């Protein structure tokens, strides 16, 4: 960033939020703070809940053509009357800093990508920075969403992990999780993984964030139980969340360099 600033290059990230989902508002505010911290210009477009799909798509088309905008992020989920797929497909592939566009998803599949989805990328960065070897390890991903589970499995496989994907229809989930050297959990259910489901010495990465009381956030992993058995474990909050935002910043800078 410092070198780009010296060259007089400004980087811009447009964040679109539709409606007043409290969790989405927290995420958007955190992204704005991160932009301010590293010197990216942040442009927020806060639209009303009743914004039409066409109005949102027209805004994205305008931002696609705006040279001061290098990255476009649409905060999900969107209101039910808006088709998320149609919205994501409208974002310019080179400005798709969430890496949700089908072209970018396809590039991840073949291992020749410009951008990675921010949360799976953050998980991979945590593993690498901790000096944990993936090659040859049994990796279990619990969750199969397009945003985390599926791309996470692809990235672990590209690092030569042996990957199993589990989900809500998996029978005897514990049989799989107990075999995992590296366990990544992203199901959106508080304390879905308990201590008896984890192998001694496993690396446990908790992507979940669930509000169980007004001011209490917990992950998908029972931290107290699993911490006793894991060789490394991420807390919630404060584990994967900050990494997700860091990867968004990285993608935005990369988008500017590509453009």
Neighbours of 179 (CB within 10 A): 14
- In the residue annotation, 31 being an active-site residue is answered as yes
> What tokens appear for 29 in the block?
């505010």
Catalytic residue chosen out of the listed positions 75, 94, 220, 250 = 75
Catalytic residue chosen out of the listed positions 94, 95, 98, 150 = 98
Q: 216-218 and 210-213 as β-strands: parallel, antiparallel, unpaired?
A: antiparallel
Catalytic residue chosen out of the listed positions 31, 95, 137, 199 = 31
Residues annotated as catalytic (active site), given as ranges: 31, 75, 98
């Amino acid at each position: 960033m410092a070198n780009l600033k010296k060259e007089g290059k400004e980087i811009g990230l447009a964040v679109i939020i539709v409606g007043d989902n409290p969790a989405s508002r927290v995420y958007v505010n955190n992204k704005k703070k991160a932009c301010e911290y590293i010197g990216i210009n942040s442009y927020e477009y806060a639209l009303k809940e009743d914004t039409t799909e066409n109005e949102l798509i027209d805004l994205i088309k305008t931002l696609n053509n705006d040279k001061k905008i290098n990255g476009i992020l649409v905060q999900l989920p969107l209101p039910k009357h808006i088709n998320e797929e149609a919205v994501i497909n409208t974002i310019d592939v080179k400005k798709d800093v969430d890496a949700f566009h089908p072209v970018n998803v396809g590039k991840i599949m073949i291992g020749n990508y410009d951008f990675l989805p921010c949360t799976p990328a953050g998980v991979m960065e945590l593993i690498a920075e901790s000096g944990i070897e993936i090659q040859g390890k049994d990796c279990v991903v619990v969750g199969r969403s397009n945003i985390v589970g599926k791309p996470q499995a692809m990235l672990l496989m590209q690092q030569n992990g042996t990957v199993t994907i589990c989900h809500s229809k998996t029978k005897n989930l514990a049989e799989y999780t107990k075999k995992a050297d590296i366990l990544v959990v992203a199901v959106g259910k508080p304390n879905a993984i308990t201590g008896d489901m984890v192998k001694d010495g496993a690396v446990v990465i908790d992507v979940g964030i669930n509000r169980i009381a007004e001011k209490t956030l917990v992950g998908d992993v029972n931290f107290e139980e699993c911490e006793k058995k894991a060789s490394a474990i991420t807390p919630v909050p404060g584990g994967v969340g900050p990494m997700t935002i860091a990867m968004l910043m990285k993608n935005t800078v990369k988008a500017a360099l590509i453009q």
